[in-house]
Amino acid sequence: DVPPLYIITPTYRRAEQLPELTRLAHTLMLVPNLYWLVIEDAVEKSPLVAKLLEKTGLRYQHLIAPMPDEYKSKKSGPKPRGVSNRNKGIEWVRANAVDGVIYLADDDNTYDLELFHEIRFTKRVSMFPVGLITKLGVSSPVVKNGVFSGFYDGWVAGRKFPVDMAGFAVSVKFLLERPNATMPYKPGYEEDGFLRSLKPFEPKEIELLASNCSRILVWHTQTKRNDPSSMLDLKAYVEKSHS
């Protein structure tokens, strides 16, 4: 049997939440030996998300991990989106998994099924290109003659690992050997902080997937913001049409 995949998905309540999770669910339903860890940035579980998860037939955990108030109440600047949720998922893996691979899969990205074949045998940390990101259109390790030779990314910003959340996977055994590894509440530096915390690990040790990082198997798609009132309108519609 193939090693298990632990897919950690942060999510939060908004008009786009159910469509995003539906799209992702229907990808994951095609992947063998997978655990889906869905962690809501919320103080209580959404019954709609619970129903969606039940319907998939997948093995899943439905957890909550609200963003700490100090960040949530911030008036300006970027927030550490999805950090509390991802750390909660990582904690669950620490407590429950012994082997396999973790992958941090945001609810709004687009995933090719081949990606899950590629990451399944990650020994330590694997990386691969992410499409549709920054003005450059792609973020990826650069590979020359089959060897890692740097990073291609639209926002390097002093990062040791200038990569997107969707651009790497980590072996569970490797994670378990690093009990202090965690994702920092540091907007823009979440990936870099987490990968640095997996020390000792150097960029030259990256396992290069997707045909030496020449193929795009995941895209950083972003859904257009819909009017938040569309959630309320849906409720009004249900009440009207079913009463």
User: What are the angstrom distances between the C-alpha of 232 and each of 94, 103, 159, 228?
Assistant: 38, 33, 41, 8
Under the binding rule (CB under 6 A), the answer on residue 178 touching ligand UDP is no
In angstroms, the CA 172 to CA 94 distance is 8
Binding at 117: pick from ligand UDP, Mn ion, none (beta carbon under 5-8 Å per type) = none
Cα-trace Rg, the chain:
18
- Determine the residue type at 14: R
* 108 marked as binding residue: yes
Residue 132 Cβ vs Mn ion, minimum distance, rounded to whole Å: 10
From ligand UDP, Mn ion, none, interface partner of 191 (C-beta below 5 to 8 A by class): none
Does 191 bind ligand UDP (CB under 6 A)? Our answer is no
Which residues in the 7-26 window bind ligand UDP by CB under 6 A? Answer: 10-12
Binding ligand UDP (rule: CB under 6 A), the pick from 33, 222, 226, 229 is 222
Q: Is 41 in the site for Mn ion (CB under 5 A)?
A: no
Q: Is 140 in the site for ligand UDP (CB under 6 A)?
A: no
Q: How far apart are CA 33 and CA 106, in angstroms?
A: 19
- Please indicate whether residue 114 is annotated as part of the active site: no
Q: Considering beta carbons, is residue 67 or 198 the nearer one to ligand UDP?
A: 67
Burial class (CB in 10 A: 0-12, 13-18, 19+), 163: buried
Q: Among the options 118, 190, 191, 207, which is catalytic?
A: 191
- How many Å separate Cα 201 from the centre of its chain? 21
What is each CA distance from 210 to 163, 166, 218, 222, 240, in whole angstroms? 15, 13, 10, 22, 50
Cβ proximity to ligand UDP: between 108 and 192 the closer is 108
What residues numbered 32-91 form the site for ligand UDP, per CB under 6 A?
Answer: 41, 67, 81-82, 85
Stretch that binds Mn ion, among 4-12, 103-111, 150-158, 204-212 (CB under 5 A): 103-111
DSSP assignments along 179-226, one per residue: TT----S-TT-HHHHHHHHT-S--GGG-EEHHHHHTS--EE---PPPP
The catalytic residues are 191
Residues that bind Mn ion (CB under 5 A): 106, 108
Residues that bind ligand UDP (CB under 6 A): 10-12, 41, 67, 81-82, 85, 106-108, 222
| Residues of each annotated binding site for Mn(2+) | 108
